[in-house]
Amino acid sequence: MPSLRIFREILDYERHLNPEQLQVVMYPGGPMLVLAGAGTGKTRTLTYRVARLVERGVPKQNILLLTFTNRAAREMLHRVEVLLGEDLRGLWGGTFHHIGHLILRRHAGLLGYREGFSIIDREDQKELLETCISEVSAEERLHPRGAVLAEIVSIKNSLSADVEELIELRYPQFADTLSEIKQAIVLYEVKKRRQNLMDFDDLLINTIRLLSEHDELREFYATRFEHILVDEYQDTNLLQVKMTDMLASVHRNLMVVGDDAQSIYSFRGADVRNILNFPERYPDATIFKLTTNYRSTPDILALSNGSIIHNRMQFHKELTTVKPPGRRPVVISVRDLLQQAETVANLIERFLAEGVSAAEIAVLYRSHYQSMEVQIELQRRGIPFEVRSGLRFFEQAHIKDILSYLRILNNPYDELSWKRLLKMIPGVGQVTANRLWEVISEQSDPFQSLRCSGHMVQKRAREPFGVFVSLVDEILKLPYQQKPEEVLQYVLERGYRDYLFNTYPNAESRYEDILQLIRYTQHYMPESIPPHSKLELLLSDLSLERVDTEGEDRSTGVTLSSVHQAKGLEWERVILIGLNDGRFPSKKALFTEGEEEERRLFYVACTRAKDELFLIYTKTDNGYQQLKPSRFITELPTNLYEKIEVSDEY
């Protein structure tokens, strides 16, 4: 019989929660859909809900908390422990993969696995897939590298998609190697079973299979978990939903928390329909809405609400705020990307002069390539910044790769650049690259030495080595001193683009990075250009951009981030750049019926701002191409923002 202490309320819920949150926390049970708008206290609500269940006497081992990071689960459970003053050991909390792993460690033998199976991480998975594709593929044919093949496998699993259809829709460049890809995936599954291995997807797939094939186990776990709580439900994929539904099949006390307006990860396999269709799967579900925002001003929320209202697929909700009115969001039009970077830097300098901490300022963008000019301008002005969307622009592998072609033209004795290019040739590894470099560097004409070095590579590498030599010969004929952008364009279209798409899962964004670099190079105009020296000055400036960042304390600087990376974060001042149709929303999204997700991405970006929001679009693309402002701006009522032309003093 439970002790009286368990039923004594030790928390003053009404004092710590608003009425919307309180209703969720105190609800007795059953299927619950909690639509938690941006900045409405989702984590607080989940935390107090767990505390309430424990306080009511639900045994800790009968509660399951599913999150998208183990860290999020640990932090939530730690908060509950602080609230209740007791240990929550026994309560299952963590990611879907973590929970699947706990179940499979006990029962994987029922699926034919030997005791002590191993979990392979992404790097091991890529290596094993590369082995498989090399065993089934003809040497002379191009095929996806391990990282790309791993993404194909993961998306196939997440969407339960057919490989043939997936290649046709998402990876058309591999249509000619479809047969080898399918064989490699089959071989990959065979090798994993032989070696007693599971990858991350297997942790979900095998848990579902286990619960599907063994009714007594499904009954055991579904009976055990009296209450299940799921965070960020809008980001779930098909496997995660299936697993959750099975575990909730007995008690049906399933509370899912999320915001359909912030579903922005379809490229990872997330499906917004999981949250939109929850009431169809659970017709007796109670729907709650958290709409009181504690982050943004009414002006920022009015613009955010005015944007997301255009989406057809959604649960309608309008956020309100407890904050007093502030400044209306500002829409700024600028001439081109260079002027955009100057405007961003001017704004930041103004914020800093007003006493705003650099850590409370963010520059957000749709894609990483859009930050290049801003990075350069901030570096020139000595404004510290931290890039959260990936490496700084010129630190990225693909940028270093393509710039290596310019570096060997400018300095034929650049060892690092030569070796970087040589190791990109199929069949040429570190040892062969070292031998080739020794021969190249010893001669007065390194390029002539390169032409005579084909005998030094293995037979299988001779054809791609010959292609590389021909490419170098062709770029030597270009006016590379005065027009280095022509070299970059030539290299990109004569082989490096294929290398990108065969090597990197995010090849499209890397391709855009290089196009942006080409545009920048084309319009690069140093103050003084002596005859035949544009290439040398360009490389010197780009090198200084990298060197000047060494040792810099990035933790206290302005944040530069893609919107995807910024989800869940907030800043006092937010500057959103690159708001042009075809950029944000992206051209690909507009061709693939992805406009609504792009609008959700815009909504996420706007709701990161606490006090002030600035939206910038360019009229041209550093040249003669005219650009249109994003439809996410033009569809807004004009009374929701201020409009400023860059010609205005700002």
**Residues recognised as catalytic:** 42-43, 231-232, 262, 608
d(CA 622, CA 228): 53
Question: CA of 423: how far to CAs of 139, 416, 626, in Å?
Answer: 17, 11, 40
Contact 385, 391 (CB under 8 A): no
Tokens of residue 126, six digits = 């890529």
d(CA 122, CA 129): 10
Consecutive H or E run containing 402: helix 397-410
Tokens of residue 377, six digits = 């301008």
d(CA 121, CA 26): 40
Backbone torsions φ then ψ of 230, nearest 5 degrees:
-120, 125
Contact 336, 618 (CB under 8 A): yes
d(CA 53, CA 521): 61
Q: Would you tell me how many other CB atoms lie within 10 Å of the CB of residue 520? A: 19
422-430 own/partner pairs: CB under 8 Å, 24+ apart: 422/468, 424/499, 425/457, 425/461, 425/464, 425/465, 425/468, 426/460, 426/461, 426/464, 427/457, 427/458, 427/460, 427/461, 427/464, 427/465, 428/457, 428/461, 428/465
Half-sphere exposure of 541 (CA within 13 A, CB side): 19
- In sequence order, what are the residues at sequence separation of 6 or more whose Cβ sits closer than 8 angstroms to the Cβ of residue 29? 227, 251, 253
Question: CA of 640: how far to CAs of 300, 306, 307, 348, in Å?
Answer: 9, 8, 10, 23
In single-letter form, the type of residue at position 474 comes to E
187 exposure class (CB count in 10 Å sphere: 0-12, 13-18, 19+):
middle
d(CA 325, CA 303): 13
Tokens of residue 233, six digits = 């439900």
Among 20, 614, 5, residue whose Cα is nearest residue 319: 20
Is the peptide bond preceding residue 585 cis, with omega within 30 degrees of 0?
yes
d(CA 202, CA 121): 12
**Residue linked to tokens 């969001």:** 329
Half-sphere exposure of 106 (CA within 13 A, CB side): 10
CB environment 245-279: b (16+ within 10 A), e (fewer): bbbbbbbebbbbbbbbbbbbbbeebbbbebbbebe
Contact 233, 257 (CB under 8 A): yes
d(CA 477, CA 279): 65
Tokens of residue 267, six digits = 């490229």
d(CA 453, CA 440): 8
Max distance between CA atoms of the chain, in angstroms, equals 91
Helix, strand or coil, per DSSP, at residue 283 = coil
